[in-house]
Amino acid sequence: MTAALLVIDVQNDFCPGGALAVPGGDEVVPKINALMTDFKEIILTQDWHPAGHSSFASEHPGKAPFETVEMEYGTQVLWPDHCVQGSHGGAFHPDLDTAPAHLIIRKGMSLKIDSYSAFFENDRATHTGLDGYLQTRGVTKLVMVGLATDFCVQFSALDAAKLGYRVTVRRDLCRAIDLDGSLAQAEVAMREAGVTLD
Ligand code: VGL
Ligand code: ZN
């Protein structure tokens, strides 16, 4: 059995001072770096939106960040412009040790579809390719850390569990946005899906 560490969206825009700052987002960086030494397989994800992405409130006249809209694929939360391709906000936190990573999965690159999960876009159908990569590398167990617990970490954990991986989320190495109780909901959903919450 091979375990992989999945480090989710530890990027400047999700850290204090960033466009969509997650409280304490930068606090997890040193401990994530330390945890990397326990893994032979390390994968990073990077939220990587084209300018004018449909998840940005600025693309929806009359709408403010954190309101929702109905998209073809379901309800979408609208966000401040964040993690634009090539921007400083889209770069990894400068202290994150990216050298040991085997693979960097970029997501949210389709203009019209957001992607919280490391496995599927928010249409729940379009693969990122991560599942194929993990299968061909013999990975069956995933430990997840990063930002944000209630969005990208949760969606990644639920998809991974559904795909048959054994999943552990290290809550001490994650931080949440927590919109209207979304963190508590995420924890219930992850537990129900058989995800281990450490
Ligand atoms: C995320 C909101 C929008 C995340 C990404 O990484 O959790 N949240 N884009
Ligand atoms: Zn995003």
pLDDT digits (tens, 9 = 90+) for 6-20: 999 999 999 999 999
Q: Are 33 and 95 in contact (CB under 8 A)?
A: yes
Q: Considering every ligand atom shown, identify the ligand nearest to the alpha carbon of residue 45 and give its number.
A: 1
1 has a pLDDT exceeding 80? no
Q: Does ligand 1 come within 6 angstroms of the Cβ of 81? A: no
pLDDT at 20: 98
- Calculate how far, in angstroms, residue 1's C-alpha sits from the geometric centre of ligand 2: 32
Q: Are 167 and 196 in contact (CB under 8 A)?
A: yes
pLDDT at 126: 94
Q: Does ligand 1 come within 6 angstroms of the Cβ of 47? A: yes
Alpha helices in 21-137 (DSSP H): 29-36, 130-136
* DSSP three-state, residue 100: coil
For 89-106, write each residue's pLDDT tens digit: 999 999 999 999 999 999
Q: How far apart are CA 190 and CA 149, in angstroms?
A: 10
Q: How far apart are CA 5 and CA 141, in angstroms?
A: 9
Cα separation values, 109 from 34, 56, 138, 191, Å:
30, 13, 27, 29
Q: How far apart are CA 35 and CA 94, in angstroms?
A: 17
Q: Considering every ligand atom shown, identify the ligand nearest to the alpha carbon of residue 46 and give its number.
A: 1
Q: How far apart are CA 160 and CA 196, in angstroms?
A: 12
Are β-strands 166-175 and 196-197 bridged in parallel, bridged antiparallel, or unpaired? parallel
Which are the contacts of 64, defined by CB distance < 8 A and separation ≥ 6?
Answer: 57, 78
Q: Are 152 and 82 in contact (CB under 8 A)?
A: no
Q: Does ligand 1 come within 6 angstroms of the Cβ of 176? A: no
For 19-78, write each residue's pLDDT tens digit: 999 999 999 999 999 999 999 999 999 999 999 999 999 999 999 999 999 999 999 999
Q: What mean pLDDT is predicted for residues 166-184?
A: 97
pLDDT-derived band at 107 (thresholds 50, 70, 90) equals very high
- Calculate how far, in angstroms, residue 115's C-alpha sits from the geometric centre of ligand 2: 7
Quick check: is 9 catalytic?
Answer: yes
Q: Are 158 and 124 in contact (CB under 8 A)?
A: no
Average pLDDT value for the chain = 97
E strands of the chain, at which residues?
2-8, 41-47, 68-71, 74-77, 103-107, 139-147, 166-175, 196-197
The active-site residue, picked from 15, 83, 152, 174, is 152
Q: Does ligand 1 come within 6 angstroms of the Cβ of 148? A: yes
pLDDT-derived band at 174 (thresholds 50, 70, 90) equals very high
- Identify the bridge partners of residue 147 per DSSP, sorted by sequence position: 175
